[in-house]
């Protein structure tokens, strides 16, 4: 299932960071995760002549798509990667059709509103789900407080760097 959608600017900063249900969240670290993904992507590009289209971090696969100066990262938690790549392409097309010409003009407040509106539209169009569907809402979910360990992953990467 798609857990998160990020739109990352050329500086590595998340322009959009949307999660889909409390149990499918990267917690309060959405912007930090987008910076981490951007840094890993940039590092991998320096080491490889081919493009990097997926990054696996623990239980998550981040599908990466580049369009113009933006990187789109779609976090998924299952093995249906080909299906999610197709959905990610539709998400990119939708975003670019609606916001590409004005994204550079947005203030921080505008970005928060657009992030919320865009996430809602993805659910309305059936491109993402609000939550996993096992519970009517996330309040009673055993995974409610489970989040991706951003700090632990980042420190593990830096410890392995020469």
Which region holds residue 140: left if phi is over 0, alpha if psi is between -120 and 50, else beta?
Answer: alpha
Residue 84's pLDDT band, with cuts at 50, 70 and 90, is very high
> Contact 17/30 with Cβ under 8 angstroms?
yes
Residue predicted with more confidence, 59 or 6: 6
pLDDT one-digit tens code per residue, 10-51:
888 888 888 875 555 565 566 778 888 888 888 888 887 777
pLDDT single digits (tens) 137-161? 556 666 555 555 555 555 555 555 5
pLDDT at 55 over 90: no
Q: Could you tell me the fold of the domain covering 2-160? A: Beta-Lactamase (3.30.450)
* Every domain of the chain and the residues it spans: 2-160
Assess contact for 162 and 47: CB atoms under 8 A. no
Where would I find the beta strands (DSSP E) of the chain?
Answer: 2-8, 14-19, 54-57, 60-67, 70-76
Determine the pLDDT at residue 157. 55
Q: Give the confidence band of 136 by pLDDT, cuts at 50, 70, 90.
A: low
What is the per-residue pLDDT for 66? 92
Average confidence (pLDDT) over 102-119: 83
Q: What is the dihedral of CA 145, 35, 61, 43, to 10 degrees?
A: -150
- Kind and range of the H or E element at 39? helix 30-47
pTM over 0.85: no
């Amino acid at each position: 299932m798609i857990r998160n959608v990020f739109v990352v600017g050329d500086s590595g900063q998340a322009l959009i960071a949307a999660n889909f249900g409390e149990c499918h969240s990267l917690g309060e670290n959405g912007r930090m995760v987008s910076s981490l993904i951007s840094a890993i992507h940039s590092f991998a590009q320096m080491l490889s002549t081919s493009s990097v289209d997926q990054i696996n971090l623990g239980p998550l696969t981040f599908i990466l798509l580049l369009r113009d100066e933006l990187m789109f990262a779609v976090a998924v938690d299952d093995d249906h990667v080909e299906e999610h790549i197709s959905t990610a392409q539709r998400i990119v097309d939708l975003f670019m059709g609606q916001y590409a010409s004005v994204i550079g003009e947005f203030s921080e407040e505008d970005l928060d509103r657009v992030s919320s509106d865009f996430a809602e539209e993805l659910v309305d169009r059936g491109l993402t789900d609000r939550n996993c569907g096992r519970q009517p809402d996330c309040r009673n979910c055993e995974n409610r407080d489970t989040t991706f360990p951003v700090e632990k992953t980042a420190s593990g990467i830096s410890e392995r760097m020469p």
